[in-house]
Chains A and B, each alone.
Chain A
Amino acid sequence: MSDTTVTPTKTITVQGLLQSTGIGLALFLLIVFFSLSSEHFLTSGNISNILTQITINLILGVGMTFVILIGGIDLSVGSVLAFSSVVAGKVMTMTGLGDGTVIVFAVMAGLGTGMLCGLMNGAISAWWGLPSFIITLGMLNIARGGALHVAEARTIYSFPYAFEEFGSISFFGIPILFLLALLLVLLAWLILNFTVFGRMVYGIGNNEEAVRLAGHNVFRYKVGAFAICGTCAGLGALAYMARLNIASPIAGIAFELDAIAAVIIGGTSLAGGRGSVIGTLMGAFIIGVLANGLILMGLNDFMRQMITGLVIIVAVIVDYYRAKYANV
């Protein structure tokens, strides 16, 4: 399960192994360190907390992995999450329909909104060959404005009881929302390694022209990657709603940065073409464990922020050397 190169399962390379263990090792050391410095760290309650807290970032990170692998970036996921959440929230608080119907419609509306935003991101940047950085920056504003407009800048609450309950289910202390995110990771891993689509995602990230000349429709795959990223933002919105029982137009500010950080810490190259969702899973864990552990240690807010920033920089430096020695 743990390879971070483009190499498929059967052919785990030494480099791939080193890469994944590198990031896994960092996570392991972090866990050991926090376990020693706080008695509460390795309690089931706290583990459950960490899993809850990384869920949204993990979901966004999975989508972001696709976009970064094709050599793009999506800065809009935080805003798209807010937009999807208020659209879903509006549907979910509609009266006159049964709870079940409303929930199904709301889920579809949330995912649909996200996917639509992603489709727009991808179609515009791929069709005109524009940098996704700037297109998604535009979408960041559009989606945020849309969210505020739809919600009239108000928090939406009072969802059907069944939905609110669903968000708090857990199995042996493992929150159901995290399990769903894990399922998403698995699905993404299968797509990236065992489908033509996934192969093209890696191919485009490495050498778009070669893929085009091999007769593939680069446009379609690029749009696909962005659509997946947008859909993940919609899914993140539903997770947000299930966890907090509100939908907020100001939710998700700067979430895109955490998602990008998770992807990059996980060893995916910002230049595209190299990386995996397993890495993103690790990256999300590192960010979550760090945020949790530093609070348990009693570090103040500002120190905490500084250390988190430092870890991101160190992770990228490590990635630089890894890339340098891996691609000889």
Chain B
Amino acid sequence: MQSVTQLIPDLLCVSDLKKHFGGVKALDGVDLNVRQGEVHALVGENGAGKSTLIKVLTGIHMPTDGQISFAGKPFDAGSPHASKDVGIQVVHQEFNLLEHLSIAENISIEDLPTSRWGLLNRTEMRSRAVVAIAAVGLDGVNVNRPVSSLGIAHRQLIEIARSLQSDSKLLILDEPTATLTEREKVKLFKIIQNVKEQGVSVLFVSHHLDEVFQICDRVTVFRNGKTVITQDIDQTSPSEVVSHMVGRHVDHTDASAAQAVPFGPIALRTKELKTIANRSEQGVSIAVQSGEILGIAGLVGAGRTEFLRAIFAADKSNGGTVYIKEKQVKFRGPRDAIDAGIGFVTEDRKDEGLILQMPISMNISMVNLKKLFRTGLIRHFAEHHQAVKYGDNLQMKYGKTADAAASLSGGNQQKIVLAKWLASKPAVLLLDEPTRGVDVGAKFEIYGILRALAAEGVAMIVVSSELPELMTLSDRIAVMADHKISGVLTRSEYSEERILQLAYGQTVEQRVAQ
């Protein structure tokens, strides 16, 4: 067995690859070898460097340093054409389909067939498409249908069909099952099996370890931009992979002078709150006390953001109840939630949190504007004064309060968002990825601010994809998987390993139990 594999050279060899963005080392020397005709899993936490590697391989990013060879030849990384030409195909997490064009047109969009007169050869295009989608098990679907008429799972399959039709040697699938139902997953795995039998290598990037263990031959684990290990699947276990992802020694740099003050009464409770994205029977029930920080962990797509938006009534919910101070409330929209004392620091600063072109002072007064100026007339000095006050409180670094919010750094922009919610004096603060795009220094300042708020009795729910952040901040961590709470851990109980196991859902636990 061992000797056979060594006869065939590896298809893809990545050695000591580095990619730095400014001071951030997204890839800090990774190694990866993919053999001919194998299904190779690539796993790692958010930010481990998986996406960056894919972007280097597909020519979106130039590597900073390191070597790549493909099919025995040095590989010219950093140009999109080069990777297509040698036979690397990627199915991205975000779809690259043109919604209003037909399936046939999408399948052939990279190389449209033309007739002698330079006109589009539709017959050829259709027959290509029929073959291509049959290969992914979509036979019988009319290729003239616009992509927009398809469900999300079918779109994913179309995307895969598009990648497969050209002569590819390496197919990279980036979270391909995120949108698929169980039935379609089975279909996809069959396709992967077929492709593999034709000698094509597959790099399978996934959060779902059960899938990895179902179809992959080998697995490589990334952590913090480095390769931790590559193992044969049958020589490892899910829990071992998880511990590799997390690393043995988790830093317990608890900035937690936690719980100096005892928690107050329950400030917010949800009972079976179901978001619209949640198609299961179960909703989410949690409670958070005054002065407590409740962290919510979970994978992308677990429904964490949707849950916060449902509490805040930013989106409609699909049943369930919210209680403020144990009194049932019914919010018609954000206004009601704010009036009930809730603040919501959104995930997306640019699109939801700030009005970038407007001055800092106007951003800070955005929520409490009507309370600040009950007559409806704005006094700019009072507004400026408020901005200065919160700017000082949060140690914001800015020029003038009249400067556009866009002129500040990410960390200071985030402080504007915080300031605007603090100005409305919330009793409950919902925070979604509160330190995304914020540099390390500012991160710890923000932790300090949140801790201080907790000490003042503000109840907080923090959603974050960074486990160290959650473990630093939270008094308790609720883990979500598939729109449900899969477990709640108290401070004494949590470890990254435990959280990840819950986040990856029951399957891992079952495997571990086996």
Contacts and interface: CB of A to CB of B under 8 A. Distances in A.
A and B touching (Cβ–Cβ under 8 A): yes
Interface of A: 6-11, 13, 193-199, 202-203, 206-207, 209-217, 273-274, 327
B338 A6 contact: no
B334 A203 contact: no
A210 B373 contact: no
The 7 closest A-B pairs by CB, nearest first: A11-B402, A215-B338, A215-B335, A214-B366, A206-B355, A8-B380, A207-B355
Contacts of A11: 359, 380, 400-402
Contacts of A327: 357, 404, 406
A154 B351 CA distance: 51
B353 interface: yes
A217 B352 contact: no
B362 A199 contact: yes
B118 interface: no
Contact of B366 (A193, A194, A210): A210
Contacts of B420: 214
A206 B384 CA distance: 20
A195 B376 contact: yes
A215 B354 CA distance: 13
B335 A216 contact: yes
21 contacts: A6-B362, A7-B359, A10-B380, A10-B381, A11-B402, A194-B380, A195-B376, A196-B373, A196-B376, A199-B378, A203-B366, A207-B351, A207-B352, A207-B356, A209-B351, A210-B355, A210-B366, A211-B355, A212-B333, A214-B367, A215-B367
A214 B342 CA distance: 11
Contacts of B339: 215
Interface in B310-355: 312, 314, 333-335, 337-339, 344, 346, 351-355
A165 B355 CA distance: 49
B452 interface: no
Contacts of B370: 196, 216
A225 to B, nearest CB: 15
B334 A213 contact: yes
Nearest to A217: B335
Contacts of B358: 6, 202-203, 206
Nearest to A11: B402
B369 interface: yes
B513 interface: no
A203 B358 CA distance: 8
B4 interface: no
Contacts of B351: 207, 209-210
Contact of A194 (B377, B384, B402): B377
Contacts of A212: 314, 333-334
B362 A213 contact: no
A199 B377 CA distance: 10
B376 A214 contact: no
B354 A197 contact: no
A6 B383 CA distance: 14
Given A7-B359, A327-B406, A195 B353 contact: no
Contact of A213 (B346, B359, B373): B346
Contacts of B333: 212, 215, 217
Contacts of B356: 206-207
A14 to B, nearest CB: 11
A213 B370 CA distance: 14
A198 B366 CA distance: 12
Contacts of A210: 351-355, 366
Contacts of A13: 402
Given A11-B402, A215-B334, A216-B335, A274 B357 contact: yes
A202 B358 CA distance: 9
Contacts of A198: 378
A199 B355 CA distance: 12
B346 A9 contact: no
Interface string B357-375: 1110010001101100100
Contacts of B378: 8, 193-196, 198-199
Nearest to A200: B369
Contacts of B404: 327
Contacts of A209: 351-352
A267 B355 CA distance: 20
A209 B346 CA distance: 11
Nearest to B407: A328
Contacts of A8: 378, 380, 402
A163 B400 CA distance: 51
Given A10-B380, A195-B378, A203 B352 contact: no
Nearest to A212: B334
Interface string B368-400: 011001001110110010000000000000001
Given A11-B402, A194-B378, A207-B351, A214 B359 contact: no
Contacts of B402: 7-8, 10-11, 13
B352 A206 contact: no
Contacts of B355: 203, 206-207, 210-211, 273
B67 to A, nearest CB: 38
A294 B358 CA distance: 39
Most-contacted residue by chain B among A13, A197, A211, A216 (CB, 10 A):
A216
B354 A207 contact: yes
Instruction: From A7, A9, A213, name the one whose CB has the most chain B CB atoms within 10 angstroms.
Output: A213
A196 B369 contact: yes
Given A13-B402, A207-B351, 13 more contacts: A6-B362, A8-B402, A11-B359, A11-B402, A196-B369, A196-B373, A211-B355, A212-B314, A213-B334, A213-B344, A214-B366, A215-B337, A217-B333
Contacts of A196: 369-370, 373, 376-378
Contacts of A216: 335, 369-370
A206 B362 CA distance: 12
A118 B333 CA distance: 26
A199 B354 contact: no
Contacts of A199: 362, 369, 378
A203 B373 CA distance: 16
A235 to B, nearest CB: 22
Contacts of B334: 212-215
A213 B353 CA distance: 8
A216 B351 CA distance: 16
Looking at B314, B362, B384, which has the most chain A CB atoms within 10 Å of its CB? B362
A213 B352 contact: yes
Contacts of A274: 357
B353 to A, nearest CB: 6
A213 B380 CA distance: 23
